[in-house]
Structure 1
Amino acid sequence: MLLFLVRWWIYVFVLLNSGAVNSQNYRTVRDKILPFNKVVVDSLGHGNFSTIQSAIDSVPSNNKYWILINVTAGIYREKVTIPIDKPYIILKGSGKMRTWVEWDDHNTTAQSPTFQSDADNSCNDKVGFFGLQDTLWDNYGKHYYKFCTIEGAVDFIFGAGQSLFERCSINVIGRALGKWFVGYITAQARENPKDSNGFVFKNCNVSGNGSTFLGRPWRPYAKVLFYNTSMANIIQPAGWDLWDSSQHENNIMFAEYGNFGPGSNTSKRVNWTTTLDLKTVDMMTNISFIDSEGWVHQYQQF
């Protein structure tokens, strides 16, 4: 049974801070003064709303101003959906915001994404994503993840998003599926060579238990880069797996650059990984890979 599924749409940001009241406020972002409202969600009824969804429902359609929804500490068992016609929403938590699924004891192989991101220009700051398989469906759009924790065992970061994961903790829990089980961190879904999407992991930390590949292609032009990332001794020496893409080795772009730790040894990696030049690495690891318009800077002002 899916307990908490968040679907992010345009300009949705998740932050880790507290202290909001229902009022009109203003922020100076570069040379602009941006008005925004604040509302409080409190599960005990001490805020403007007692559920996250009711606060989102209060946002008018075709919203044009930032709305800061401060979620106080508590457990919110609800399916949260932000419609595409309600942009400029910020969810701000006073504790680590976690999403999870509860498995049906009679069908433990059934999987649902813990978190689904169907968005453009969305940011997740200090958010925890916890699951086993298909934890984070980074479906499409440009996304920024910073200081997040993402946990799972099988394809637990997957989809066709164009996403930068910076200083995130990637926690592998392969032992949950057996002593000899080998998992997969990523399953990227780039469809053709003209698509700009791909996953970039920058200054991250890969740790946990069991054994895992860095990724396998969900679609024939999958693109993943691990850069300057610490890798524990849980990475399969081959590094990457083809899954059912044995005819597409030359189309896949799986790359590693400047990583460290016992799992980063590339001497036994598969021979079809991509060696990137420094110019390409700099381009992919720069914030401009996901943001050429300055929307990340806007969110950081709140």
Structure 2
Amino acid sequence: MKKLFLLSLVALLTSGLQAQQDGRDTIVIARDGTGKYRNIADAFDEVRAYMEYTRVIYIKNGTYKEKIVVPAWFKNVHFVGESAEKTIITYDDHANINKMGTFRTYTVKVDGNNIVFKNLTIENNAPQMGQAVALHTQGDKLVFVNCRILGNQDTIFTGGEGTSLFFRNCYIDGTTDFIFGGATAYFQDCTIHSKRNSYITAASTPKHITYGYVFNNCTLTANADIDRVHLGRPWRPYAATVFLNCQMGSHILPIGWHNWGKPDNEKTARYAEYNSIGEGAAPKARVAWSKQLPKKEADSYTIENVLGNEDWWKQ
């Protein structure tokens, strides 16, 4: 009997460890009270620092009005929503509240590394009264799959210079500079939606970083009354942004790019396209200081080359 008990105990401990290793260690969040917690941040105390196994925070459909900071000691955590349209994390800070400034307005800030977000919405629903960040990233190797990231001015701030991000099958909208910052970010099969005549990107890629923003096989759309949108303008002189095989609506201006009122940026900004299609594709009309890539060069912008040969982005 004692031997049988010991064998059962060993089996239980082994199965528990295997569950952690297989990523089955899941915490359920539900606003309706059917999960372990009603608020997402309440689960954070259950996450061990710098885990080598995956911890899943599963979020049921509902609206979670929370201002969330994913701490730097989070690693290998997956935030998985029940559905992209109905699992909504939202807040409404903007830069003009008590002189808050841009970088405190986030709804979700991610300081940890190797973090995955799937099937959910991250939203800043502040009125159009200034900068209002929905997603602020500082961590490295962050993945967003089938997410909606919604806002107005400055929707996504990719703040960690030297960090890498991957967005796949996401819907991102905003008004001005709504994807901005210094990180390297690869956008695959995403919809990028403009809600105002303005600028989509404002990269601040450091001079020594080869890749900034890469959009591959993305679709650029806009509200019906929008007809004067630039692909980007350089927040810093060496901004790097490339559009590959993208469908561009008629809202994209023929000149494509803007120098932010600083002619010297034209000497340093790294702006390029390859195989743009649609009414907004006008390779011969683009500003002379942007580049139309030859196929051989465009082929070098693979996910592996941009983000590295590790498989962290394969989610």
TM range (shorter): 0.7 to 0.9
Distance 1:42 1:137 in 2: 28
Q: 1:115 corresponds to which residue?
A: 135
Q: 1:261 corresponds to which residue?
A: 278
Q: Which amino acid aligns with 2:214?
A: V
Q: 2:165 corresponds to which residue?
A: 143
Distance 2:261 2:242 in 1: 20
Q: 1:132 corresponds to which residue?
A: 152
Within 5 Å, give how 1:1-302 maps onto structure 2: 24=16, 26=18, 34=22, 36-96=24-84, 97-103=120-126, 108-140=128-160, 141-174=163-196, 182-192=197-207, 194-209=208-223, 210=226, 211-297=228-314, 300=315
Q: Would you say how many aligned residue pairs link Structure 1 and Structure 2?
A: 261
Question: Normalization by structure 2: what TM-score?
Answer: 0.78
TM-aligned CA deviation for residue 244 of structure 1:
3.6
Distance 2:16 2:244 in 1: 42
Distance 1:280 1:118 in 2: 29
Distance 1:26 1:289 in 2: 33
Distance 2:193 2:182 in 1: 21
Q: Deviations over 1:150-196 (max 9, x none)?
A: 0011000111111110000011111xxxxxxx30000000121x213
Distance 1:128 1:293 in 2: 26
**Kept in 2: contact 1:24–1:36 (CA 8 A):** no
**Kept in 1: contact 2:54–2:77 (CA 8 A):** yes
Distance 1:273 1:224 in 2: 10
**Kept in 2: contact 1:24–1:35 (CA 8 A):** no
Report which structure shows greater RCO (CA 8 Å, sep ≥6). Answer: 1
Distance 2:22 2:58 in 1: 18
Distance 1:62 1:267 in 2: 50
SS at match of 2:267: coil
SS at match of 2:25: strand
Q: 2:106 corresponds to which residue?
A: none
Structure 2: unaligned runs, 5 residues or longer: 1-14, 85-119
Q: Which amino acid aligns with 1:231?
A: M
Distance 1:94 1:245 in 2: 46
Higher strand share: 1
Distance 2:155 2:39 in 1: 23
Larger Rg: 2
TM-aligned CA deviation for residue 24 of structure 1:
4.4
**Kept in 1: contact 2:138–2:158 (CA 8 A):** yes
Q: 1:8 corresponds to which residue?
A: none
Q: Which runs of 4+ in 1 moved over 6 A?
A: none
Structure 1: unaligned runs, 5 residues or longer: 1-22, 28-32, 175-181
- CA RMSD, 1 decimal: 2.0
Q: Structure 1's 39 and 224: CA in aligned 2 closer, same or farther, altered over 3 A?
A: same
Q: Deviations over 1:247-293 (max 9, x none)?
A: 13121111110111010122211111023333332222333311321
SS at match of 1:75: strand
TM-aligned CA deviation for residue 62 of structure 1:
3.0
Percent of matched pairs sharing the same residue:
29
**Kept in 1: contact 2:29–2:58 (CA 8 A):** yes
**Kept in 1: contact 2:234–2:265 (CA 8 A):** no
TM-aligned CA deviation for residue 36 of structure 1:
4.6
SS at match of 1:256: strand
TM-aligned CA deviation for residue 26 of structure 1:
4.8
Question: Normalization by structure 1: what TM-score?
Answer: 0.81
Q: 1:7 corresponds to which residue?
A: none
Distance 1:139 1:122 in 2: 12
Q: Structure 1's 98 and 118: CA in aligned 2 closer, same or farther, altered over 3 A?
A: same
TM-aligned CA deviation for residue 90 of structure 1:
0.2
Q: Which amino acid aligns with 2:134?
A: T
Higher helix share: 2
